[in-house]
Structure 1
Amino acid sequence: MAIEDGRGTHDVAGDAPLAAASARPSGSRPRRRLLSWRRLLILAVVLGSAGTAAFLGGFVAFAWRVPRQEVVLTATADGIVALTGGASRVVDAVELLASGRGRRLLITGVHRTTNSSEIARGVPEFERLFDCCIDLGHEARNTIGNALETRRWTLGRGFRSLVVVTSSYHMPRAMAELGHRLPGVELIPYPVVTQARAEPWWSSGANARLLMTEYVKYIVALARMRIEPVVDLAEAAQRRPPPPATQPGPAT
């Protein structure tokens, strides 16, 4: 209804909704914000639970794949590589070489001050092999370094297949790193199982912690390999021949 007064004509019915809207309580916005925060919290809890379940499920699958008994190797390869970290790895690798499972052995990750005669003392019956068929790598300090050192040795000798000797729990990460650096080379795993690691992981706190640590390293390695090139750029730069020396021009 329109009312006319000295200030003009006003639509009373039209002004009523505006007055009601201005009189509406201002608490609706905080309630909407609270609902949004609750939804975000629920989403975070759901995603966190799903991520935890996936992580633990992956760990169980990883742990079950780690062998608790040594395998009998029947295959042969061009070469054998042993990743240092335990005396039994070197002993097993030398025995494989002596039995004809490979033509040559690389022991990678050897301490800089250790020589072949010192290692040969641990396997005196095979000491002669150190004079002809065993090479030591002194540059590697971790699994990535083992893979790079093995890559140079393998390609330098033209090998197309390798027996990989390392501990059972370390084998998945070692195979991943070596496969990443040597995509065209056949890798044959030979996991070394010590008596302490033969115990089921679920019944041994030490084994469970070791496997969990190795599982995390394995996941990190896989993630890193997805974003880095196959050949390490630093290594490629080191192998790149120096540019030819420029000849001085005639004096002017």
Structure 2
Amino acid sequence: MSLQPDDRSPNRRAARPRGWLRAAIVASMALAFVAAAIGFVGFLSQLRGVETNPPRNADGIVVLTGGSSRVSDAMELLAAGYGQRLLISGVHPTNDASDISRSLPDSQRLLSCCVDLDRSAVNTRSNAAETRRWARERGFKSLIVVTSNYHMPRAIVELSHAMPDVTLIPFSVVGDRWRDEPWWTSGATFRLLLSEYAKYVAAEVRVRLADVGLDLTSDLGEPALRRATTAQAN
């Protein structure tokens, strides 16, 4: 009489599906990790390490607040004639032009004649909505976008989705910390990049879904629109 276990026993048959399920889960997690790593590398490849002047002038300039030297760099571009007017988007509600002029005393003339302040934007998506209103009011068809290099990919996603008919020219601000040390040697910078990459992916997914008519969120106070894909959608 054989004492070997019967492969056809209920316990053995039940174990096999569980084993395949575990293998499938592990394989899926490994593929997701590889895809995320490849995407992160692609995200990093979009980040500029040095500041370069815009290749051409534009109708206007918009700077998204939140990082060091963004506003001062935008003012320099305005002073150099790269745009007719500047929108500073995301200004704190309690701040006004005098607060900015104190930090940029050499820009008083420009602040009084050629700078508009947006105090309602609270994130990148609302930055895009307010910039769209500003550009439409003035008939601008091209904008220089000023923000930090790590924030630029997400900013372009949001702005191009909000204004598919406006030409966007990126001007990436490179902070001192980015210049002084490689990002992979700083835990804080690495965490910042991971966080920004996650937000960038989320923005890309939301925009792509909206392009095929799955815009399930309201458009920042404007009526929600379920739009089908058009030739202009980005």
Measured against the shorter chain, the TM-score band is: 0.7 to 0.9
TM-score (normalizing by structure 2): 0.86
Match of 2:187 in 1: 205
Distance 1:230 1:160 in 2: 28
Counterpart residue identity of residue 123, structure 1:
L
1:96 counterpart = 2:82? no
Confirm or deny that 1:124 pairs with 2:105.
yes
- Residues 129-152 of structure 1 deviation map (CA, whole Å, 9 limit, x = unaligned): 111110000000111111111111
Under a length normalisation based on structure 1, what TM-score does the superposition of the two structures give? 0.80
Q: Give the percent of matched residue pairs that are identical in Structure 1 and Structure 2.
A: 47
Aligned equivalents of 1:85, 1:98: Cα separation in 2: 21
- C-alpha distance 158-200 of structure 1, shift in aligned 2 (>3 A): same
Tell me what 1:216 maps to. 198
Q: Which runs of 5+ in 2 are unaligned?
A: 1-5, 225-234
Farther off after superposition, 114-123 or 228-237 = 228-237
Q: CA deviation at 1:222?
A: 1.0
Kindly indicate whether residue 162 of structure 2 is the aligned counterpart of residue 162 of structure 1: no
- CA distance in 1: counterparts of 2:196 and 2:182, whole angstroms: 16
CA contact (8 A) 1:161 1:185 kept: yes
Letter of the structure 2 residue corresponding to residue 162 of structure 1? L
Structure 1 residues 191, 26: closer, same or farther in 2, change over 3 A? closer
Q: What residue is the counterpart of 2:231 in the other structure?
A: none
CA displacement at 1:64 relative to structure 2: 3.0
Structure-2 separation of matches of 1:131 and 1:73 = 24
Aligned-pair distance for 1:87?
Answer: 4.2
Paired with 1:35 and 1:230, the residues of 2 have a C-alpha distance of 41
1:53 to 34, 55, 63: 34
Distance 1:72 1:224 in 2: 31
| Residues 72, 130 of structure 1: alpha-carbon distance in 2 compared, 3 angstrom cutoff | same
Say which of 162, 167, 185 aligns to 1:181: 162
RMSD (Å), alpha carbons: 2.0
Q: 2 CA distance for matches of 1:37 and 1:94?
A: 62
- Structure 1: where are the runs of 5+ without partners? 1-24, 239-252
Match of 1:144 among 125, 134, 157: 125
Q: How much has 1:26 moved relative to structure 2?
A: 11
Name the structure 2 match of 1:235: 221
Give the number of the structure whose alpha-carbon radius of gyration is greater.
Answer: 1
SS at match of 1:136: strand
Q: 1:51-95 CA distances to partner (integer Å, 9 max, x unpaired)?
A: 101111211221232112111223110000000013400000011
SS at match of 1:224: helix
Does 2:211 match 1:225? no
Indicate conservation of the 8 Å contact 2:64/2:89, yes or no. yes
